Structure 1
Amino acid sequence: MASITWFDLQLSLDFADAGQKYDGGAWFNRKTGELWTCGDGIWGPQEPAEDLNQSPDFVPAPNSHDLRLGVPLAMDFAYARLPDQVEEIRALFHRKGGWRNFRTLIARQNVEQEWFTWQDAATEKALREWAAEEGFEVI
């Protein structure tokens, strides 16, 4: 079982999320646990000799959507902490500026810090579960 650091796992999520917009992503070497990243066509630690998406030695890091850390997580939070506003929150995400409006609403309800704690805990749980499912030990 290859080991990956918690720092690399968090970093991979940032690259995976940005990858859709900035032509990049993140991959872990299944054998060594080494993190490979690409952003705006710039590779780290170096440009690979092969297409990492086609190599059985590499697994792409998940993005927030893969881990259900976007709107589904916000709705879970709404059901748990703001049950009287679930429909209002659901409607926010069906309009432009949904996340901005969600942040405004949780600030107005004075649950902003609770949201950040909820989001951090869910992100850590999802990343650790993904790593375990892919056969990595997080150190």
Structure 2
Amino acid sequence: MRVKFGDILQAFEFADISGIVECRTFVCRQTGKIYYQFDQDDLQELEDDELPDDIEDETKYLQIPNSRDLDLGKPLVIAFVREFLPNDLDDVRYIFSKRGAYQKFKGLLSQRGAIDAWHDYRNKARERALRDWCEIQAIEITDRPAIHLKATTCARRLRRDLAPIVIQRADGAMLSGAKFPWVPSDRPTSSPNKSFHVAPRSHRRSPVDG
């Protein structure tokens, strides 16, 4: 089957949604068409294409993995920290033993001026893992790499169609970035300088329980 990598990436990112909204994504083994299966009817109704009745048939439809399936969660964070912030490795391991780990990790990256380095590392790892998965599943990719895209179609689509409904479902509460960690922030990021500063251990703040 032939599929655009951008479509696979978008489906992967939707499969990574967690919290208030759950989504599973599938690719048709014969046509390469992508399908989205939401756990809420009002979100499912936003889809242009009706979900096939036999979507659970693994001989016809292949479920697209999420970050956990491809070991792109905590293992990727630890690999990044080991390479770029080795002095913070013990602290990060402690952070990820508690709740709210990604939000605290984001705070640490901001302190170290390493947000851009992390995003670049994560995006490249995602693309490699997804392309390897496609190769294993005999999916032929038809377009160019997507590593350097500033914002994915998925993020634009989420903000346009899903965010108002999700916020309403949360009874008006503002959702934190931790719910949708893959959505690019509208805030300016740190300097793109690759040589970021690592503060001495004596100047660091101790992790707090989440």
On whether the aligned pair clears a TM of 0.5, the verdict is yes
- 1:8 aligns to what? 7
Distance 1:119 1:54, change over 3 A: same
Separation (CA, whole Å) in 1 of partners of 2:92 and 2:52: 43
Give percent identity, aligned residues only: 24
Contact 1:106 1:112 (C-alpha < 8 Å) held by counterparts:
yes
Separation (CA, whole Å) in 2 of partners of 1:84 and 1:53: 46
Q: Point out 4+ residue stretches in structure 1 off by more than 2 angstroms.
A: 18-24
- 2:52 aligns to what? 48
- Structure 1 residue 85, shift from structure 2 partner: 1.1
Amino acid at match of 1:126: A
- 2:21 aligns to what? 22
Amino acid at match of 1:45: D
Contact 1:19 1:25 (C-alpha < 8 Å) held by counterparts:
no
Secondary structure, aligned partner of 2:17? helix
Instruction: Name which one, 1 or 2, has greater alpha-carbon Rg.
Output: 2
Contact 1:26 1:35 (C-alpha < 8 Å) held by counterparts:
yes
Contact 1:24 1:38 (C-alpha < 8 Å) held by counterparts:
yes
Amino acid at match of 1:87: D
- 1:73 aligns to what? 76
Separation (CA, whole Å) in 1 of partners of 2:18 and 2:95: 26
- 1:63 aligns to what? 66
Q: In the alignment, is residue 135 of structure 1 matched against residue 134 of structure 2?
A: no
Could you list the runs of 5+ residues in structure 1 that have no partner in the other structure?
A: none
Separation (CA, whole Å) in 2 of partners of 1:10 and 1:24: 14
Distance 1:135 1:81, change over 3 A: same
TM-score by length of 2: 0.61
Secondary structure, aligned partner of 1:59? strand
Question: After the TM superposition, which of the residue ranges 101-110 and 40-49 deviates more from structure 2?
Answer: 40-49
What's the Cα RMSD here?
Answer: 1.6
- Structure 1 residue 95, shift from structure 2 partner: 1.1
Amino acid at match of 2:10: L
Separation (CA, whole Å) in 2 of partners of 1:61 and 1:19: 15
- 1:33 aligns to what? 32
Question: After the TM superposition, which of the residue ranges 20-29 and 108-117 deviates more from structure 2?
Answer: 20-29
Secondary structure, aligned partner of 1:96? coil
Amino acid at match of 1:67: L
Higher strand share: 1
Could you list the runs of 5+ residues in structure 2 that have no partner in the other structure?
A: 143-210
TM-score by length of 1: 0.91
